[in-house]
Amino acid sequence: MRRLKTISLSVAMLLIVVAAGSAWGEDAQPSAEGKNLPVAYQLGVNGYLRQELSRNFAIGDAVYAPGHDEGRFVYRLQPYAVWNPADSVGIRIEGQGYGIRGGYHQDDSRFALYQGYADLSLPGSELLSLRAGRQEFNYGSGFILSNDPFNDGLTFDSLRLRVKPAKEVTIDLLGGRYVRRFADDRKGVLAGVYAGYAPNDDSNVELYSFYDTGLEGRVNGDRLYVWGARMTSKLGPVAVEVEPVYESGRLTSQALGTTDDIRAYGGHVDLGMEGQWRGLKNKISLGYALGSGSQEAADGIRFNKEFKTPNSNASFSELLSVVGDLSGLDAGSSHASGIESYTLSFGTDLPANLNLTFCNHYFRAQDVPSGFSKDIGIETTSYLTWTPMDNLSLMLAYTHLFSGGFFRDATGTDRGVDIAFLQAQFDLSYKKTK
């Protein structure tokens, strides 16, 4: 009965958002002539409403749970205001209401300041600009550092200095503290540099390095150094992305009480191709991602060789996935360390602003307890997205995991996992151009 009430509430709120988006979309969208003009001020609210269902999977804990069925409603509402009193000065204030209803002892609701910053730049120049205050960081494909848009986000009380010595070169120097309420209560600092060189619209080379103490379960003195490069290139309909990463630092072993050197590596390679077929735009993608592991981690001793992506939002897994981190995963009391992901996806734009996409992943572990299978399984996801206007989209998704031998060895069963969600995403705003 409680699940039925939650689903009914979800459907009602989704319908309200669709109706509001349609009405607002007709009245509040800027004219074609005004879309590229500087904004004097803007008021709005963005976010999503989502109903989630799962079978044999605990969504809140993100763990394999045979015999466990779950349904929950998740919402994220972000009212915001933007004011640009001068061409070289900008201010953004953004709140966030985030909540969960239903699920397994997961009822939660909270409102807080999500972003609040000021942008300052040299008048008439892009050479130097400073952003100061609470802000998101989102770089590249989000493989290492993203703003976690599918959940409750990720922000830092921080400074970001951007230097553009040439049109093709951008260098960001950043540093600040995690905002704990948006970081799963992790605390610590993040600092680093991200530099990009884009000789043309189809090519880009990026180098980055981060110092991070916001590790889950961190003991005083634990720290992570991330060293990475990202290269993208497009030749006609074919696009390629390569991103190798190395990690160093110090990590405490809870089992041994020792502090060990971090020596981990990971990365991904993605190949995409777009084309027309029977009048429809299609895209096919191939991908491979790898995170290092170790036998000691699989045995629960030390985890210093596992590749860590705590702030990631990347192509190696789906929006709701059994595998969400390349460091490894747990099933029962057993741990699989280091994940390989092989991806094949196909998407097509249909008439009436519809898009249909199929994503398939094969996951395999690097190291497992003695005698266990390394086969995690095959995960298939289908997305149907309707975008009736620029500020509103509806997405229906279904995921099934054909579980591999690791789950059978770890839990005594190889039941498959089913995950489904219906989401409405919106950005309703009014803006005044200068």
Question: How far apart (Å, rounded) are the C-alpha atoms in residues 239 and 227?
Answer: 24
Q: Tell me, what's the pLDDT at 397? A: 97
**The total number of structural domains that make up the chain:** 1
Are 394 and 385 a contacting pair, CB within 8 Å?
yes
List, for residues 359-384, the tens digit of each pLDDT value.
999 999 999 999 999 999 999 999 99
* CATH number, domain with residue 283: 2.40.160.100
What is the DSSP-derived secondary structure letter of residue 316?
T
The reply to whether 44 falls in a domain is: no
Residue 124 is assigned to a structural domain of this protein: no
By CB atoms closer than 10 A (0-12, 13-18, 19+), residue 306 is buried
Say which residue the tokens 């942008």 belong to.
119
Residue 373 counted as domain residue: yes
**pLDDT greater than 90 at residue 34:** no
More confident: 144 or 7 = 144
- The CA-based angle 104-179-59, given to 5 degrees, is 20
Tell me which residue of 329, 392, 325, 384 sits closest to 359, measured CA to CA: 384
Q: Judge whether 108 lies within some domain.
A: no
d(CA 193, CA 188): 17
85 vs 432: CA distance, rounded Å: 12
Q: 83: closest CA among 96, 94, 68, 67?
A: 94
Q: Which domain holds residue 393?
A: 2-31+54-73+132-433
Whether 118 is covered by a domain: the verdict is no
Pairwise pLDDT comparison (80 vs 318), residue with the higher score: 80
Q: Whole-angstrom Cα distance, residue 243 to residue 271?
A: 12
**Residue 184 resides in a domain:** yes
Collapsing DSSP states into helix, strand and coil, what is residue 414?
coil
Can you tell me whether residue 255 is helix, strand or coil? coil
Q: 282-308 pLDDT, tens per residue?
A: 999 999 999 999 999 999 999 999 998
Give me the mean pLDDT over the 5-18 stretch: 50
For 287-314, the DSSP string reads EEEEE---HHHHTTS--TTS---TB---
Residue 81 lies in a domain: no
| 92 is a domain residue | no
Q: Are 291 and 266 in contact (CB under 8 A)?
A: yes
**What is the structure's pLDDT at 22?**
47
pLDDT of residue 314: 64
Note whether 395 and 423 are within 8 A (CB).
yes
* Model confidence at 24: pLDDT above 60: no
> For residues 200 and 8, what is the distance between their CA atoms, to the nearest angstrom?
50
First and final C-alpha spacing in the chain:
53
Q: Give the pLDDT mean for 57-75.
A: 92
- Which residue in the block uniquely carries the two structure tokens 């045995």? 299
